[in-house]
Structure 1
Amino acid sequence: MALTGNLDSGSDAQGTIMQSGSFMRQAAGADTLVNLPLGLNEGDTISIGGQDAGGANISSLQIAVTATMTLDELATALANELDAQGFGPSTVNITNGAMNVTIGSGSIAGLSLNVTGAGEFNSHFNFGTVDTTGPAIGGTNYAYADATTLATALYDSAGNSLGLADGEVLDLSGSVGTTNNTTNLTIAGATTTLNDIMNQLRFNMGITSTAGEINDRGQISITGEPGLSSAISNISVAEQGVDNDILTGAFEFTATRNATDQQTFTMSTVTYDSLGNEHTMSFGFEKEPGLNTWRWTASMDGGEQITSGGSGTVSFNTDGSINAFTYDAGATGITFNPNNAGTQGADMVTVAVDYGEIGSLTGLTQFSGSGTLQAVADGYGTGTLVDFNIDQTGTIIGVFSNDTMRTLAQIGLATFSNPEGLTREANNTYTLSGNSGDAMQTFAGADNSTTLVTGALETSNVDLATEFTKLVVAQRAFQANSRVITTSDQVMQELVNLVR
């Protein structure tokens, strides 16, 4: 029995994936520029804008952005350039996410840092007029939060503080299937992190087999337990006793993957016992979660008993080709009893499964996406003779109603040492005689060049040219003989006339 077709690699039971928007924190001096949501890329060039008291540009310095450049390094580069241009001693640092600029002498109108095409960056580093009276402060910069970010330091994606403080209580809720679960979490200002809030949400929904994640864009991703019955939804976080819309909005989750149940693939085919009776065998395949291995089981639709080899495993390589096909309990095939309990009939049937060549894609495969599974058995039922053919060797091949062909017999040949000695009988038949010798029996194509042509009539074996020549000769002889008779008759007539 040959099994072919594809088993979908994505057939594991899947859990819902719920994802929040980005959470932010105020940027620190150690944050790299390209990782901040400022639209900068490695290789960009930062120029310094501004005019001195005389209206001249203060600097032509170009600062190249590298993959590791931090806010502190940018601040140092700006301070060094301001000192070099005579505005020192200058101080540039990062405080509460914003760059602060102080100069020791002179004044600068319209001090700014600019990158062509990076409007977000440009708006955060526009300092206006800078003089010796106090620091000029740029816009507040935000970095994506991570698992260690304190709850009290969280902002939403628009830069609004969530407003959490030590001792405040959060109401957390989430649905599992049709059941809504609720719990709460008290903020400990010095220790409660974004990761703690995420884990409390997970535990509230009974999620233990999968870990939550806070990605590099500050988004919480929660994966539910596999299966439709464990689908999660309606996740929310609110501040107890306070109408905090910013907090509630920041913890809005959307589903990026819906839950699904484990998929089972089936196929069936008809096999036959020794008496030609039909038996339908079905196969079921179910994937083991997270592995390239499937459990398979065989069953008989008519209730026949499978005595061995009715289950096992099939595993696949990472390229989708089959790696192994095994039977439980060391069986080498599927054996079933085709007879009802307590009755006699056909022999026990053992089916060998052809699953394809190991390491190839000729039989069962495992790729992403559905495919057609097919089982084809090589047995056959009872058939009756409906036709026959005779080949060049005289072999008679019977064609049966069950689409099978069987060799029935072979036409024999006989040769004689003196074929001319055979005695001719009626209807083109001959019998042995003492002159013909004994028959030497053989078959066409057996150590000889004899072949049989079936379904054809033998054409005439007369040489028409020779026979036509003989006909002309005979005609001329007849004409000559006729003239002899005519001449003889004329002579006799003359003799008669002389006598008179």
Structure 2
Amino acid sequence: MLDSIYIGMSGLTSFSKGLSNISSNVANLNTTGFKGSELQFLDLFYQRQLSSGYASNGNGHYQGSGVKAGESSVKFTQGDFRQTGNDLDAAITGNGFFIVKKDNKTFFTRAGQFEINDSGNLVTRDDGALVQGYSGTSLKNINISGSRSVPATATTQVRLSDTLSINDATFNLSNVNIIDSLGKEHPVTISFVNNNATVAGQWTFTIKEGTNTLATGAINYSGSGVPVPGQEQFTFTFAPTGAISNQVTIDFSNTNSLSASSSSIKLSSQNGVKAGFLTKTALDNNGFLVLSYSNGQTRQFQQLALANVDNLSSLTPVGGNRFTQDGKAKLVISTAGNMGLGTLQVSGVELSNVDLAREFSELIVVQRGYQASSQVISAANEMIQQLGDIRGRR
């Protein structure tokens, strides 16, 4: 009967560990990217007792020694996605882990809550671990310190579109902005004069900044109203004070000269930009860090690295929603959507995969198992007490 007490104690110990496992799962119900675990229970070794007359054929009585709590296995099922509105949050749909480095150690995580620190690095929001990007075939820190601004780009091409009506004698196109090498805008006016009476289909024009004439030229249209081939462009030298001079080309290829009620020629585009400063950083669905600037430009920066292993049981949880890898399984490193890795959802995070209903069901089983084991110990104790009472009555 003493062995029954020890067997009951093994039940109490194992079910206590089971309760701890359930407690950890439930406590992390709202932990971003948390993966719940399941505790295995194993029966202990058996004692074989052969009875008289059964020794030859090997039959007999097998008595177990109780139960023990085995290893806990992590369940890597997908958690739900929750929108956060944070442009640097991301979640993986499917296989894969984000890669972060802390104290020269590499970790894998499903928690995609990131931010840019003072040094320009993309880091985890909780402890500043360095998020890894994928460059060619290697990992590197994602750092934007050299990309917080973009220089000005001088205008080299101005595109016009729409119609110069042959019914108009003149037409002024104003507020055409040309940007110099310093990023300064220069509003210019292009004044058109219908010269059809002298040269069929010709318009002469003057380009002025204020009262300063920058250039004069002419554009010739064919009988069908389109620019004469080879004469669609006009180039002049733009040399504002203090800036570097450059060549600016006026492109008329998308204009025409027809019999319209009035002229409607307008600026279609120009390729100069002012200097810009970083206004926003965000992740896109391909894992690229997209930088937006005050001058309207955007730049696709470095791309997040993702990793996966062919044997998830080789990953060891180390806390902080992170895992380490023992090196025994094959490690795959690439980017979202490649080499079997999952896709990204941005501006949100993956929630815990803990199923509360299942955990409560397991809690009932563990509680009843613990209660039953304690009853076994109580029963064995009472039986031993009865033996003691019998001896006392002799």
Q: Give the alignment's TM-score, normalised by structure 2.
A: 0.49
Q: Give the alignment's TM-score, normalised by structure 1.
A: 0.40
Higher relative contact order (CA 8 A, sep 6+): 2
Larger proportion of strand: 2
Report the structure number with the largest CA radius of gyration.
1
